[in-house]
C-alpha cells in the first residue's frame, strides 16, 4: 500500500509547489479542498466536483458523528465508498462545530460534553473518541482534536487554551492508529500572540506529526493580523511536512498565505456563497441578485471554463436566483469552486516558473479593482 508522503517539486521564495501522496491517491499543492461537510459538496454531484480539478475533499467529524454516525459509515464501506469519492479525504476534528453549534458545552481536561444542535441528545467528544471516529470514517488525513480558542482572547485565556490543546495533541498521537497512506496532522494554536504560536509549534514538533495545520485564524482578527501570525509561525514549521491553514478563506487570503509558505486550504466560502448569490471572478466578487445583471449577456467570468460561464449569461443566473430556482445555486456553486481550483492551479504554475511575486502583484491589483460595472 502507498505510504503517506510529501514532496516539494519547486520553490519560489517561501512559496512551495508540492505533491502529497495518500492511500487513495495524490493531490497537488498549493491545494484548495472541496468542502463536503456531511459527506457531500452541497448542490454539486461528485463528478461535477472532480471536473473542477478538486482532488481532496473535507468532511466534518462533528456532523458525521451525529448522523449517520461513524459506525454506520464504517459498516457501509467508509467515506470513500459512502460518498462516491475515491480520492483523498481529510476529516476536520469537529472542535469548531462543537464550540459554535452545540448546546450546553462543558469543557474539561477530559474533553467536551455537549448537547446536539439537532435533537438535544448528549454526547462526549474526547481526543481518543475523535481519533476513533475519524478512523471509522476511513479518513486519509486525520486532524487532532483541539480547543477552538475564542476571539478575542486575553493572553491568559489563550495560553490556557493552547496548552490544553497541546496536551490533547499528545493523546491524539497516542490514540491514532498508523497505517500506510494515512496521516495525522497537529494543529498550531495561540490566538494572536506570537510567543504562544511559537510555543505551540515547538510542542507539536516534539510530539511529531505527518503534517502541521495552523488553526484559530480567520475568526475575526482581520487579514493583517492573520498574515502577521503566519509570518511568525510558518518559519518554525518543519520544511519537509505539508502545511495547512484551516478555514481560509478569501482568494486574497490564499494568495497571501501561499506567499508565506502554506500548502493546503479549506473554506466553506465558495460553496456557501454560491448558494446565496455571491460569485467570485478574477475582478473580485459580484452579487448576481443585483439588478445590474438583469440584462447582462456576458458570462460571470470570460476566462472561466465552468458550465455556468460557458453556457449561461449573467442575466439568466440573475433570473434563476430571483425566481429561487435550484439550478441557480448549483451553477454558481460550481463556478465558485472552479474559480478556487483555477486560482491554486495558477499559483502552482507561478511557483514552477519562479514568478510568484509578480503573479501575486497582478492578482491583488486586478482583484482590488472589482467587477466591471458597464455592460459591454
Residues labelled as active-site residues: 92, 266
How big is the chain by its Cα radius of gyration, in Å? 20
Angle value at C-alpha 265, between 178 and 149, nearest 5 degrees: 80
Sequence-ordered alpha helix ranges (H) in 184-295:
194-207, 223-233, 251-259, 269-276
- Write down the residue that cell numbers 462543537 correspond to: 98
Task: Decide: helix, strand or coil at residue 313.
Answer: coil
Q: CA dist 369 to 77, 281, 298, 307, 335, Å?
A: 48, 11, 18, 25, 20
Beta bridge partners of 107: 112
Instruction: Report the distance separating Cα 212 and Cα 116, nearest Å.
Output: 29
Question: Peptide bond before 152: cis, by omega within 30 degrees of 0?
Answer: yes
Amino acid at each position: 500500500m502507498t505510504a503517506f508522503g510529501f514532496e516539494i517539486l519547486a520553490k519560489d521564495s517561501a512559496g512551495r509547489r508540492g505533491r502529497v501522496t495518500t492511500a487513495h491517491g495524490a493531490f497537488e499543492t498549493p491545494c484548495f479542498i472541496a468542502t463536503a461537510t456531511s459527506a457531500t459538496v452541497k448542490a454539486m454531484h461528485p463528478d461535477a466536483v472532480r471536473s473542477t480539478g478538486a482532488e481532496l475533499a473535507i468532511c466534518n467529524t462533528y456532523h458525521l458523528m451525529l448522523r449517520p454516525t461513524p459506525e454506520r459509515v464504517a459498516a457501509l464501506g467508509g467515506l470513500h465508498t459512502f460518498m462516491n469519492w475515491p480520492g483523498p479525504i481529510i476529516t476536520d476534528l469537529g472542535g469548531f462545530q462543537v464550540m459554535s453549534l452545540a448546546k450546553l458545552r462543558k469543557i474539561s481536561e477530559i474533553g467536551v460534553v455537549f448537547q446536539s444542535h439537532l435533537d438535544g441528545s448528549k454526547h462526549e467528544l474526547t481526543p481518543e473518541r475523535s481519533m476513533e471516529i475519524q478512523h471509522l470514517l476511513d479518513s486519509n488525513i486525520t486532524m487532532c482534536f483541539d480547543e477552538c480558542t475564542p476571539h478575542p482572547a486575553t493572553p491568559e485565556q489563550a495560553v490556557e487554551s493552547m496548552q490544553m490543546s497541546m496536551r490533547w495533541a499528545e493523546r491524539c498521537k497516542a490514540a491514532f492508529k498508523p497505517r500506510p497512506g494515512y496521516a495525522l496532522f497537529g494543529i498550531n494554536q495561540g490566538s494572536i500572540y506570537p510567543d504562544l504560536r511559537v510555543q505551540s509549534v515547538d510542542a507539536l514538533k516534539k510530539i511529531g506529526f505527518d503534517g502541521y495545520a495552523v488553526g484559530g485564524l480567520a475568526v475575526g482578527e482581520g487579514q493583517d493580523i492573520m498574515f502577521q501570525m503566519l509570518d511568525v509561525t510558518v518559519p518554525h514549521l518543519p520544511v519537509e511536512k505539508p502545511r495547512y491553514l484551516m478555514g481560509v478563506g478569501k482568494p486574497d487570503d490564499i494568495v497571501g498565505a501561499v506567499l508565506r509558505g502554506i500548502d493546503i486550504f479549506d473554506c466553506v466560502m465558495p460553496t456557501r456563497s454560491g448558494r446565496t448569490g455571491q460569485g467570485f471572478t478574477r475582478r473580485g466578487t459580484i452579487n448576481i441578485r443585483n439588478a445590474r445583471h438583469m440584462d447582462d449577456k456576458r458570462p460571470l467570468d470570460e476566462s472561466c471554463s465552468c458550465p455556468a460561464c460557458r453556457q449561461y449569461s449573467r442575466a439568466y443566473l440573475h433570473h434563476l436566483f430571483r425566481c429561487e430556482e435550484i439550478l441557480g445555486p448549483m451553477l454558481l456553486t460550481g463556478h465558485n469552486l472552479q474559480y478556487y481550483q483555477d486560482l491554486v492551479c495558477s499559483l502552482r504554475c507561478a511557483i514552477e516558473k519562479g514568478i510568484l511575486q509578480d503573479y501575486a502583484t497582478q492578482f491583488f491589483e486586478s482583484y482590488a479593482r472589482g467587477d466591471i460595472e458597464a455592460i459591454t
